[in-house]
Chain A
Amino acid sequence: MQELLGRIARLDPSASLGLRVIACFDELVVGHVNTRGLLAAAASLAGCPAGFRRISEAACVRVGPKGDLLDGPAPEVPAALRLTTADGLEVWLERDGEPAANDGITLERLSLAVRARHGLVRRDDIRRHAAIMLDRQSSAEERVAAAEALGLTVQGEYRIAAAPLFAQWQQHPGGPEDVIPTRHGPLHVVVLPADHDTVVASPCGLGTVTPVDRLHESFRVAVVALRLCSPPDEPLVDAHAYGGLLTMLADTPEDSHQPDVERMAEVAAHPWGLPTVAALVATQSIREAARHAGVHHSTLQSRVDVVSSTLGFDPLDGLGRARLGIAFLSHRLRHSTVLELPPPSS
């Protein structure tokens, strides 16, 4: 993977490779990968052997960049390529020459992952500031402390941009960034000042502007925005365009019983279903919606009649417009394929 990191750096010199190293170890810890697997990942990322031992014991495990177990005792490695923890574990990288740019972060994450695997640390205890700040289970004091540690101004207002690690960025915005393990897989988050210019990335969700102690809400909204993306047509969704709607969606349990959304799935079963609804929510009149959808207005009218009878209300009248819009967004969320979804629980 060292070679792949090199490719990523050549494609996008501003990309943070450290974030990918972090995300990689987050996934290894979540997946309960054993010590050999952890060392193999470190060795593969570093392009040189990685090792582990308990300082109280002579025996060690050494793994090469292709995951092969290496024989022989632990060699002498300089202090910069070695990390010893207070509980008596040591990890190292066997690199000839100077440490490389990501060796530090690799060793740090490797040692935490090995400690977690050996039951010496709880997964929760190895979380970083961003994860604490963006977790609604954290207390307000913990969140503010984490925000300060990240260099945010307590009185300031910010918003969260969320993207998968495979997102394409036209340029990387400044601001603290990290990867957060979520049920949708690791997400790349960037904390942006409230007045930050538009971000150009695909796919990417922008959350609401909040004070620092409520950035966990901005994050949850950003994830909803991200899941509404539909590249290449809609690579980025900005929560601002939806007022409080995305906050509402973020607060709605996904498996809640919502008859409008279930009927929307029936509308979506027609090949013209979702494009028609998309045109209706984006426009004022049947004629305008017909132009938007690129069909004759009489065709659109007959489709609206089907939509209307399927949903059981008039989607163009009074609260019907709001119900249509919410059901449309909820349907897209339920069927979002822009991120990895968890396997359905049986």
Chain B
Amino acid sequence: MAVGYGSSVTAAPRPEFDAELKAGLAVVGGMFPPTITPALLDFMRTSYASAPIDDLLAQRRIERLDLPVPGHLGDEIVVSVLRPVGLSGPRPGVVYAHSGGMMFGDRFSGIDLVLDWVDVLGVVLVTVEYRLAPEHPDPYPREDVYAALEWVASHHTDLQIRLDRLLVAGASAGGGLAAGVALQARDRSGPRLCGQVLDYPMLDDRGLTHSTHQFDGVGVWDRVSNETGWDALLGPARGGTGVSPYAAPSRAEDLTGLPPAFIDVGAAEIFRDEAMAYADRIWRAGGDAELHVFAGAFHGCDLFAPHTAVGRRMIHVRNSWVEKILAD
């Protein structure tokens, strides 16, 4: 019989959540519990499914085109092309990977945060319905995003996208996928990227960092949730020696030759240390990275609580970087 006190866990000291964000957790916790076990997968797939967005797109004068494209192994997947109504020439392009722990969410999850790029900067955004673990483990999610990137590059004329201004972006699990796609694009001499936006990215399956162990049972996405996500993606390989650096970019030994990276992360979340280490290693390799660590921020707080001082600042800082890279 299973007895539930198998590990001797000591609550580690941890930075407090910002007061406004803590208040937000009173609401967030009802749809995104801190600790996600495989038993909660169905709940999360319901609670994290995106809301209908057509009204929102209409208000922002953004048009949406759903297209079938070849994913991993040529299987058909769907992407949505979101672009300002009435384009009159090639625009910067973004390939976007959504959040959801590799296991839930869809191509419109958290899309609010990147729609500014479309209606303010005039970007053509391609958001990918990559297949989810555990039904589709590694490399499906990332190879689906990579295949979408290649498809975008080879159809850039039809899509009215400038090949010299193509960026990958993703949040959380999607941030990990975007980082992996950037590594693959470098190694396969794939499409040339002008930047990678990695929002609080999920980079490391090993779970060894200090921050991983600081937030058990609190906030959004704790150590157990992360183990659930990586288990879904990698199965028994998680934490072992055979994991691909494309799946877990923290494992990549060579971080040279990557496009400029924007990395943001909360000081009060488990991904803090791996995000900081990734930026640091890019710098050591002579690369270009911009790192922002937000005090008191829990994982994805700008998605859940964009009205807060911390949330607003995260969004503003990110959008200014993207503007610097992509705007005409």
Q: Return A189 CB to nearest CB of chain B, in Å.
A: 14
Contact check: which of B3, B20, B26, B51 meets A275 at CB < 8 Å?
B3
User: Complex Cα distance A338/B35, Å?
Assistant: 9
Q: B6, B37, B51 — which one has the most chain A CB atoms within 10 A of its CB?
A: B6
Determine chain B's interface SS by DSSP, over half rule. loop
Asked if A37 contacts B3 (CB within 8 A), the reply is no
Q: B24, B29, B30, B51 — which one has the most chain A CB atoms within 10 A of its CB?
A: B30
Asked if A41 contacts B307 (CB within 8 A), the reply is yes
CB neighbours (8 Å) of A63 from chain B are: 307
CB neighbours (8 Å) of A268 from chain B are: 8
Whether a CB of chain B sits under 8 angstroms from the CB of A292 is yes
CB neighbours (8 Å) of B311 from chain A are: 67
User: Complex Cα distance A277/B8, Å?
Assistant: 12
Comparing B11-19, B122-130, B269-277, the segment that makes contact with chain A is: B11-19
A-B contact count (CB 8 A): 158
Whether a CB of chain B sits under 8 angstroms from the CB of A253 is no
CB neighbours (8 Å) of B27 from chain A are: 1, 4-5, 8, 20, 24, 45
Q: Return B44 CB to nearest CB of chain A, in Å.
A: 10
User: Complex Cα distance A335/B9, Å?
Assistant: 7
List B19-62 residues whose CB lies under 8 Å from chain A: 19-20, 22-31, 33-35, 37, 39, 43, 46-47, 51
Asked if B305 contacts A44 (CB within 8 A), the reply is yes
Chain B residue, CB-CB nearest to A45: B27
User: Complex Cα distance A90/B163, Å?
Assistant: 54
User: Complex Cα distance A182/B26, Å?
Assistant: 13
User: Complex Cα distance A68/B309, Å?
Assistant: 10
List A1-44 residues whose CB lies under 8 Å from chain B: 1, 3-8, 11-12, 15, 20, 23-28, 30-33, 36-37, 40-41, 43-44
**Total B residues in contact with A, Cβ cutoff 8 Å:** 48
Whether a CB of chain A sits under 8 angstroms from the CB of B306 is yes
Asked if A25 contacts B23 (CB within 8 A), the reply is yes
Whether a CB of chain B sits under 8 angstroms from the CB of A308 is no
Q: B24, B307, B309 — which one has the most chain A CB atoms within 10 A of its CB?
A: B307
Asked if B19 contacts A32 (CB within 8 A), the reply is yes
List A149-202 residues whose CB lies under 8 Å from chain B: 164-166, 168, 179, 185-186
CB neighbours (8 Å) of A12 from chain B are: 30
CB neighbours (8 Å) of B305 from chain A are: 1, 44
Asked if B11 contacts A335 (CB within 8 A), the reply is yes
Whether a CB of chain A sits under 8 angstroms from the CB of B304 is yes
Chain B residue, CB-CB nearest to A68: B312
CB neighbours (8 Å) of A86 from chain B are: none
Asked if B312 contacts A8 (CB within 8 A), the reply is no
Whether a CB of chain B sits under 8 angstroms from the CB of A341 is yes
User: Complex Cα distance A41/B1, Å?
Assistant: 46
List A181-231 residues whose CB lies under 8 Å from chain B: 185-186, 230-231
User: Complex Cα distance A23/B119, Å?
Assistant: 36
Whether a CB of chain B sits under 8 angstroms from the CB of A293 is yes
CB neighbours (8 Å) of A68 from chain B are: 312
A27 with B26: in contact, given A3-B51, A67-B309, A233-B4 (CB under 8 Å)?
yes
Whether a CB of chain A sits under 8 angstroms from the CB of B216 is yes
Asked if B6 contacts A271 (CB within 8 A), the reply is yes
Q: A28, A67, A186, A233 — which one has the most chain B CB atoms within 10 A of its CB?
A: A67
Whether a CB of chain B sits under 8 angstroms from the CB of A101 is no
User: Complex Cα distance A279/B6, Å?
Assistant: 11
Contact check: which of A274, A278, A343 meets B13 at CB < 8 Å?
A343
Contact check: which of A8, A33, A279, A335 meets B23 at CB < 8 Å?
A33
Chain B residue, CB-CB nearest to A15: B30
Whether a CB of chain B sits under 8 angstroms from the CB of A66 is yes
Chain B residue, CB-CB nearest to A64: B307
Residue ranges of B at the interface with A (Cβ–Cβ < 8 Å): 1-11, 13-16, 18-20, 22-31, 33-35, 37, 39, 43, 46-47, 51, 216-218, 304-309, 311-312
Can you name 28 A-B residue pairings with CB atoms under 8 Å? A6-B51, A11-B43, A26-B23, A26-B26, A30-B19, A31-B23, A33-B19, A37-B309, A41-B24, A43-B307, A44-B306, A63-B307, A66-B312, A67-B308, A67-B312, A68-B312, A165-B25, A166-B33, A168-B33, A265-B8, A268-B8, A269-B8, A275-B6, A278-B3, A294-B1, A340-B217, A343-B16, A344-B13
